[in-house]
């Protein structure tokens, strides 16, 4: 494998900037900023950890250039000496590890703006356009003078960035349907001034921006642009995104136009294209969920590479080293951009280079700790790596007093508690009553699109071995074992049990649980009804239709399916589109009244309806199993209830809970 990935570790040039390898860190991550927009110590620690981890080029999260017109909270418009001095702490630290660092500079979201601090009082766009999330809100068209003000703000912002020691800037962008992108697309640009009409005019905002930056900062100052090759839009609205491989009429930018745009951007002076796909209508291309294949944007990035001489960097689940290295080696792209994989494991690059792939903690594409936290107004972190954004505060350090630790339960929460405790120097014994580690995550990872979930279980098993945790399989813990072991602290990670359906006929052989369905311990017929439209139920329905050709109907008591806190819009939008594409029936606002010989009887809109079903799968939630905790909580040891046993949550809740308690012991 090591020889195959050598292409990723060759130097490259972007304009005058030499980068030590072909791996860039995507513009996501720490939003730990001072009031002036410079990164505080937490932000510095975050990026330095990735530089130390081997990344060649860091592209930081975006900052607005202007102090009005769709600007974000901190801007470069007022950046002075304090901003420059604070930023130098970051750039100087990153440079110590041989990495280059550029900052993404922005003018705003336009019609992409979301609720709360993302949707301002003066909604603007290229023309009068509907808001993505709230189509009843219309965004007004910017005036010609306002566009020129924004262009100049890019130049002024880039100059402040240069003074702060950054190696270049990335313009945000003709990407994801953001403000500048709204000018570029005919569907969102109906202007009659110099920034509307022909393709060249619609690109005037972008081309004049790079020229203004070069004039202000010098022609040798590298300027990249974030660029979505193809829009994958069928119209306006969050239900109008197209899927990979779907036949549809492109409403936004197609490949033919994209080839022309790439050449125009190169000729205007941009030094590289940082490429992916999509708009907020098809948000899952720019932020690929678990349902997207690896390298989902690669073919389109390779297509535009044919038309330019400047480097093309490809983003979008490019964390398979073999796929990425092959693409770079062939010359069909020049570099890869890796985002969430570097949150899950900041040492990703170093581990790839040393062929230490089994030690890479894999990103599972959930978006719960990164994108969803950001849109919830919190600092960006990671569901499976709580250290993200808190590298200094959450650094794992040796415990002052070494203890004997007992962990009861080998699910993810229990394994995380054991791993962290062992790394802190404690003697750890983990007890699992079955013959497999992973708990409920074993069935959860069984679907064809959950390969990274399977890898996460394998990663945990390896970490337990490498950290010296003693694992006792097929062992039911009782008071005698506890007395014999004499633990100082006990983690009870006994998980949860599935809720049972409580209606007439629920004991029918047709009725099986979600776990039984996922593990295939009971047969599943051709006609399936899934009771429960949460994430697990909907994923089961999609999996059975996609991989097994089943006819599936989903019943949900709430007005909508997928009403789950922490579920990111990109994941939800894609799953909803997949449901529609695979003709999965969805019935909301329902109440199941009985299981019959025919199938399922339920109330919908005041009417009693019956669906035929060979198999009925219940996915109606879980109840914490606290029984062992209640039995041993007064045993004399320091006893902690963690994970689903404490509170039924998602994977992020299970891992963070275990991590934080293990850090405190």
Q: What is the pLDDT of residues 605-646, one digit of tens each?
A: 999 999 999 999 999 999 999 999 999 999 989 999 999 999
Averaged pLDDT score across all residues of the chain = 95
Non-local (6+) Cβ contacts of 3 within 8 A are none
Angle between helices 255-268 and 298-305 (to 10 degrees): 60
Closest CA to 550 of 574, 569, 523, 511: 523
**Residues annotated as part of the active site:** 178
pLDDT at residue 443 is higher than 80: yes
404-408 β-sheet, strand order: 470-472, 427-431, 404-408, 489-492, 638-641
In CATH terms, 404-498+623-664 corresponds, of 3.90.1200.10, 3.40.50.720, 3.50.50.60, 3.30.70.2170, to 3.40.50.720
138-141 β-sheet, strand order: 124-125, 138-141, 129-130
Q: What pTM was computed for the model?
A: 0.95
Query: What proportion of the chain, given as a percentage, has pLDDT over 90?
Result: 89
Domain boundaries, the chain: 6-375, 404-498+623-664, 511-620
Closest CA to 315 of 22, 647, 658: 22
- Residue 79: the pLDDT is 85
Closest CA to 94 of 45, 42, 51: 51
pLDDT at residue 652 is higher than 60: yes
The half-sphere exposure of 467 on its side-chain side, counting CA atoms within 13 A, is: 25
Span between the terminal Cα atoms of the chain, in Å: 40
pLDDT average, residue stretch 327-344: 98
- Residue 70: the pLDDT is 63
pLDDT at residue 117 is higher than 60: no
pLDDT at residue 338 is higher than 90: yes
Closest CA to 538 of 594, 496, 579, 477: 579
- Residue 1: the pLDDT is 62
Most confident range, picked from 53-67, 220-234, 561-575: 220-234
Q: Cα separation of 22 and 483, whole Å?
A: 56
Phi, psi of 508, deg, nearest 5: -60, 150
Phi, psi of 22, deg, nearest 5: -105, 25
pLDDT at residue 81 is higher than 60: yes
pLDDT average, residue stretch 449-477: 98
pLDDT average, residue stretch 61-68: 84
Render pLDDT for 274-299 as a digit per residue (tens, 0 to 9).
999 999 999 999 999 999 999 999 99
CATH architecture of 6-375: Alpha-Beta Barrel (3.20)
User: Would you state the structure tokens that stand for residue 473, as one six-digit string?
Assistant: 């399989």
DSSP for residue 79: -
Find where tokens 């799953």 sit.
Answer: 575
DSSP for residue 485: H
Phi, psi of 124, deg, nearest 5: -125, 165
Q: How confident is the model at residue 72 (pLDDT cuts 50, 70, 90)?
A: low
Render pLDDT for 170-225 as a digit per residue (tens, 0 to 9).
999 899 999 999 999 999 999 999 999 999 999 999 999 999 999 999 999 999 99
DSSP for residue 411: B
pLDDT at residue 239 is higher than 60: yes
Q: How confident is the model at residue 37 (pLDDT cuts 50, 70, 90)?
A: confident
Q: Name residue 124's beta-bridge partners.
A: 140
- Measured CA angle at 255 (ends 254, 257), to 5 deg: 70
Q: Cα separation of 164 and 158, whole Å?
A: 10
pLDDT average, residue stretch 407-420: 98
The answer to whether the beta carbons of residues 64 and 74 sit under 8 Å apart is yes
pLDDT at residue 118 is higher than 50: no
Q: Which fold has domain 511-620?
A: FAD/NAD(P)-binding domain (3.50.50)
SS3 196: coil
Find where tokens 């494998």 sit.
Answer: 1
Alpha helices in 53-114 (DSSP H): 81-95
Q: How confident is the model at residue 78 (pLDDT cuts 50, 70, 90)?
A: confident
Non-local (6+) Cβ contacts of 573 within 8 A are 238, 239, 241, 282, 283, 284
pLDDT average, residue stretch 484-491: 96
- Measured CA angle at 317 (ends 57, 10), to 5 deg: 40
Q: Cα separation of 233 and 213, whole Å?
A: 31
CA distance to 154, 306, 318, 623, per residue, from 25 (Å) = 22, 24, 11, 40
Closest CA to 251 of 279, 285, 289, 288: 279
Q: Cα separation of 479 and 633, whole Å?
A: 11
Please give the distance of CA 323 from its chain centroid, rounded to a whole number.
20
- Measured CA angle at 270 (ends 49, 108), to 5 deg: 70
The answer to whether the beta carbons of residues 513 and 530 sit under 8 Å apart is no
SS3 25: strand
- Residue 115: the pLDDT is 63
Q: How confident is the model at residue 30 (pLDDT cuts 50, 70, 90)?
A: low
Find where tokens 């059975």 sit.
Answer: 544
**Which segment of 21-30, 421-430, 432-441 scores lowest on mean pLDDT?**
21-30
Rg (CA), the chain: 26
Phi, psi of 56, deg, nearest 5: -80, -40
Non-local (6+) Cβ contacts of 287 within 8 A are 367, 371, 568, 570
Same fold yes or no, 6-375 and 511-620: no
The answer to whether the beta carbons of residues 412 and 655 sit under 8 Å apart is yes
Q: Cα separation of 390 and 49, whole Å?
A: 11
């Amino acid at each position: 494998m090591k020889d195959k990935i050598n292409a990723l570790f060759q130097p490259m040039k972007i304009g005058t900037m030499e980068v030590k390898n072909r791996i860039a860190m995507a513009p996501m991550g720490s939003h730990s900023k001072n009031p002036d927009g410079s990164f505080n110590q937490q932000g510095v620690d975050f990026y330095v950890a990735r530089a130390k981890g081997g990344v060649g080029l860091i592209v930081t999260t975006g900052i607005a250039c202007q102090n009005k017109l769709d600007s974000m909270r901190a801007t470069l418009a007022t950046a002075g000496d304090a901003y420059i001095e604070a930023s130098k702490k970051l750039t100087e630290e990153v440079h110590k590890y041989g990495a280059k660092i550029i900052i993404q500079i922005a003018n705003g979201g336009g019609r992409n703006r979301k609720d709360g601090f993302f949707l301002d009082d003066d909604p603007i766009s290229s023309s009068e356009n509907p808001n993505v999330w709230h189509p009843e809100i219309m965004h007004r068209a910017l005036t010609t003078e306002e566009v020129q003000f924004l262009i100049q703000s890019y130049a002024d912002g880039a100059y402040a960035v240069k003074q702060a020691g950054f190696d270049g800037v990335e313009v945000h962008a003709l990407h994801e349907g953001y403000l500048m992108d709204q000018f570029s697309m005919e569907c969102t640009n109906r202007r009659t001034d110099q920034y509307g009409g022909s393709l060249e005019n619609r690109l005037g905002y972008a081309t004049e921006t790079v020229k203004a930056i070069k004039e202000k900062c010098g022609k040798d100052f590298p300027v990249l642009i974030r660029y979505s090759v193809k829009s994958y839009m069928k119209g306006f609205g969050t239900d109008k995104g197209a899927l990979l491989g779907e036949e549809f009429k492109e409403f936004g930018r197609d490949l033919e136009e994209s080839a022309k745009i790439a050449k125009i951007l190169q000729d205007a002076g941009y030094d590289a294209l940082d490429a992916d796909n999509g708009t907020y209508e098809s948000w899952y291309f720019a932020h690929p969920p678990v349902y997207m294949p690896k390298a989902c944007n690669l073919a389109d990035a390779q297509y535009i590479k044919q038309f330019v001489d400047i480097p093309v960097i490809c983003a979008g689940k490019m964390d398979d080293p073999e796929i990425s290295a092959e693409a770079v080696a062939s010359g069909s792209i020049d570099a890869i951009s890796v985002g969430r994989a570097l949150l899950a494991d900041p040492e990703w690059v170093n581990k790839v280079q040393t062929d230490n792939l089994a030690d890479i903690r894999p990103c599972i594409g959930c978006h719960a700790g990164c994108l969803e936290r950001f849109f919830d107004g919190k600092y960006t972190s990671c569901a499976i790596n709580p250290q993200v954004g808190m590298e200094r505060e959450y650094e794992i350090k040796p415990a002052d007093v070494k203890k004997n630790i007992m962990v009861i339960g080998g699910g993810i929460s229990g394994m995380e508690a054991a791993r962290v405790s062992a790394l802190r120097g404690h003697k750890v014994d983990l007890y699992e009553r079955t013959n497999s580690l992973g708990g409920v995550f074993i069935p959860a990872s069984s679907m064809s699109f959950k390969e990274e979930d399977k890898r996460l279980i394998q990663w945990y098993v390896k970490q337990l071995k490498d950290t010296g945790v003693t694992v006792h399989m097929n062992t039911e813990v009782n008071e005698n074992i506890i007395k014999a072991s004499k633990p100082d602290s006990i983690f009870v990670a006994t998980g949860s049990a599935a809720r049972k359906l409580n209606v007439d006929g629920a004991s029918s052989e047709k009725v099986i649980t979600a776990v039984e369905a996922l593990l295939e311990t009971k047969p599943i017929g051709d006609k399936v009804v899934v009771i429960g439209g949460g994430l697990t139920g909907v994923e089961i329905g999609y999996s059975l239709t996609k991989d097994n050709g089943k006819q599936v109907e989903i019943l949900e008591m709430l007005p909508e399916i997928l009403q789950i806190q922490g579920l990111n819009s990109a994941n939800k939008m894609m799953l909803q589109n997949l449901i529609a594409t695979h003709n999965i029936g969805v019935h909301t606002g329902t109440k199941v009244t009985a299981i019959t010989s025919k199938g399922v009887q339920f109330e919908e809109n005041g009417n009693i309806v019956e669906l035929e079903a060979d198999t009925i799968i219940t996915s109606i939630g879980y109840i914490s199993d606290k029984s062992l905790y209640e039995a041993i909580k007064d045993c004399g040891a320091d006893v902690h209830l963690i994970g689903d046993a404490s509170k039924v949550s998602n994977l992020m809740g299970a891992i963070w809970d275990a991590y934080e308690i293990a850090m405190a012991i």
